[in-house]
Amino acid sequence: MLGKRVLLVDDHPLYRAGVRRVLEASGRYRIVGEAGCAHEAIDAADVNRPDLIVLDVQLPGISGLKTARILRKKDPRVKIALVSMVGDDGRMLEAFRTGALVMLPRDLTPSSLLEAIDRVCSGEHLLRAQVQSRPALANRLRAEMRVVSTRRAVALDALPLSTRELAVLDCAAQGLSNKQIAEALYVTEQTVKNHFTSVLRKLETEDRVGAILHAVRQGWVEITPPLSNSGVQWLVSQSSSRPAVRHTA
């Protein structure tokens, strides 16, 4: 079956199944992969090279918005349709910054979903129209664009980490030990250590705290529970108050 290649990213299998049914029934789309989290999405995008990614904003771990930025960094040609229960101005602006072409409500009807996907795949930037329909948000975006236009353009570096290295770093940002990371990713502890060695070399940092802080600043990972806000403070204090020690374990 020919058609646009689509990757579905949502942590609810039933929702993915519903979207798959709608898109495949049209005969214009071919689902080439599914994912339930950021790591799976990045891996699936690398393998399947989709034309379009339908991506839930509320992913566990690394958020859908950060995942969209990573995916667009790795493949600027890919079209992204974000799905969200919430469409407030702040989230809409963040979605626009990722390069996504539309923000879809999660309770959209099948016919409206298909129409929106068709329009995005035909080249329409629906998110721009969504932003412009909100005067306060449009003014905020124009002000931001003016500031950006006064700065020298700097090309974004490609994500330097492999999918597995990113997964290891994201697990570490959640406060998991090497053993817990190994269990979560179904690898050995030595493999986790090897990945960390590679991460530290690529990011030119002395230890995993520095690597996590660098990745958080770049938007590659998020510090999530159990660390939460106290975890952020712990990382900052560790980074600023103790001498750097090269990670060897």
**Per-residue model confidence as pLDDT tens digits over 58-105:** 888 778 888 888 888 788 899 999 999 876 677 778 888 888 999 899
Give pLDDT, residue 82.
95
Report residues of the chain scoring pLDDT below 50.
146-157, 225-249
3-state secondary structure of 82: strand
3-state secondary structure of 9: strand
Contact between residue 185 and residue 192 where contact means Cβ atoms under 8 Å apart: yes
Give pLDDT, residue 14.
95
Return the closest-CA partner of residue 69 out of 34, 46, 100, 43: 100
Query: Which ranges in the chain are annotated with CATH 3.40.50.2300?
Result: 4-149
Tell me: the pLDDT tens digits for 183-207?
877 789 999 999 999 999 999 998 8
Class of domain 4-149: alpha beta
pTM, entire model: 0.64
Pick the CATH number of 163-241 from 3.40.50.150, 3.30.1370.100, 1.10.10.10, 1.10.3720.10: 1.10.10.10
